Structure 1
Amino acid sequence: MGLISLIWGILALLWMLLAFIPLLGWGNWFMIPFAVVGAIIAALGLIIAGPGGRSRAKAGLLLNLTAIVVGAARLLLGGGVL
């Protein structure tokens, strides 16, 4: 689960960077739910994994939460949320 969430977080961050391109900001509307699913997978990975195998799940959770926060801030600043 940790590896899946890590890959999911990397994809969410790449998608977030793509949404910074002008006229592609609408991609944040799809990226945020994508990253939420990745955060849920990471949280499950933290619960299931033993004490030694949590580093990937923590990294995946951090990446997904970063993508959610930056994407939401981009939507708020760009006027995507009315």
Structure 2
Amino acid sequence: MLNILSGLIGLVTLIFMIPALFPLLGALNWLLVPVALIGAFVGMLSSRNSGRNFCLTVAAFGALRLFLGGGIF
């Protein structure tokens, strides 16, 4: 059950991360990366790894976007 919840948190975060790819909306990732990490923590409590790995991938993608945009753009 926690694996499904973690996957849903990652999916919702990924959907909200799509607008953050556009210029001048990249700062939205400062809110979305911690949400994805919370989803990864929920996934750690599960016996399966897929939800945790998905949330970590989403968090890494958001962190890469922040790095490339200089933290703001």
TM-score tier, shorter chain, comes to 0.7 to 0.9
Provide the residue aligned with 1:22 in structure 2. Answer: 23
Q: Which amino acid aligns with 1:59?
A: S
**TM-score for the superposition, normalised by structure 1:** 0.78
Q: SS of 2:32's equivalent?
A: helix
Provide the residue aligned with 1:76 in structure 2. Answer: 67
Q: Which runs of no fewer than 5 residues in structure 2 stay unpaired?
A: none
Provide the residue aligned with 1:66 in structure 2. Answer: 57
Provide the residue aligned with 1:42 in structure 2. Answer: 43
Distance 1:5 1:18 in 2: 21
Structure 1: 4+ residue segments shifted above 4 A? none
* Structure number, greater radius of gyration: 1
1:30-55: CA deviation from partner (whole Å, max 9, x where unpaired): 00110010000000012xxxxxxx2x
Give the aligned length: 71
**TM-score for the superposition, normalised by structure 2:** 0.86
Question: Percent of aligned pairs with the same residue?
Answer: 39
Distance 1:14 1:7 in 2: 10
Q: Which runs of no fewer than 5 residues in structure 1 stay unpaired?
A: 47-53
